[in-house]
Amino acid sequence: MSQEAPALDEAFGVPASAEQLDRAAEALRTNGFVVHVVDTAEDARKLVVGELVPRDQAVFTASSETLRLSGILADLDESGGFQSVRAEAGDLGDDMWARIRLGALPDVVVGSVHAVTEEGHLVIGSASGSQFAPYASGAKKAVWIVGAQKVVPDLATGLRRLRTHSLPKEWRRLNELAGQTSFLSRILVIEHEWLPERGVVVLVREPIGF
């Protein structure tokens, strides 16, 4: 794992146009996802907390700057109003396997992605892959909140965004926060949601997250 910060492509931080967002939303719906398009991160927060996440089911929050910055993370894990898997698990200390497996089978998983293509595909990268189990099939319902800067034309561009924007951003965040670095070891691409109402994508017209 390199100790040198990977090059950052700032072009991938620019929000997509309204037309691009509309194309992505239409393609996602064609591919079986439920899609909501909102104007701001605060609108996304109100929708997710007020309507999309049930209060009587176990909810797991995947690690996500989008969730943290929007306030959704605190709402779900710290307010006491939801059955938070993280809150109920408490401090897992240095038990790596417990942390990785913690959210494998929740009723609901809430998180984000690193790219959404105008073809209706989701791209997620990870170091541990801990969020992949509930994202792919472990959770009965998956909710992803996605800033407009993450919408890209196609899968190849989405993978490039992951490597040249999301990863460098996360590398720098961890380095500044704890003197650690990040790396990419696993990539998940979700092309279609075949279970009705399971996969929910909240597209935000403003940028948020990496």
Give pLDDT tens digits for 73-128. Answer: 999 999 999 999 999 887 766 666 766 677 789 999 999 999 999 999 999 999 98
pTM for the whole structure = 0.94
Residue 7 placed within a domain: no
Tell me how many domains the chain contains: 1
Q: Work out the pLDDT band at 1, boundaries 50, 70, 90.
A: very low
Cβ neighbours of residue 132 closer than 8 Å, sequence gap 6 or more? 124, 126, 186, 188
Distance separating alpha carbons of residues 150 and 85, to the nearest angstrom:
27
| pLDDT over 90 (residue 66) | yes
Is the distance from CB of 37 to CB of 205 less than 8 angstroms? yes
CA dihedral of 34, 27, 150, 52, whole degrees rounded to 10: 0
Residue 5 placed within a domain: no
Residue 2 placed within a domain: no
Residue 3 placed within a domain: no
Distance separating alpha carbons of residues 179 and 156, to the nearest angstrom:
31
Q: How many CB atoms lie under 10 A from the CB of residue 144?
A: 24
Range of the domain at 141: 12-204
Residue 190 placed within a domain: yes
| pLDDT over 90 (residue 41) | yes
CATH assignment at residue 25: 3.40.50.10420
Residue 195 placed within a domain: yes
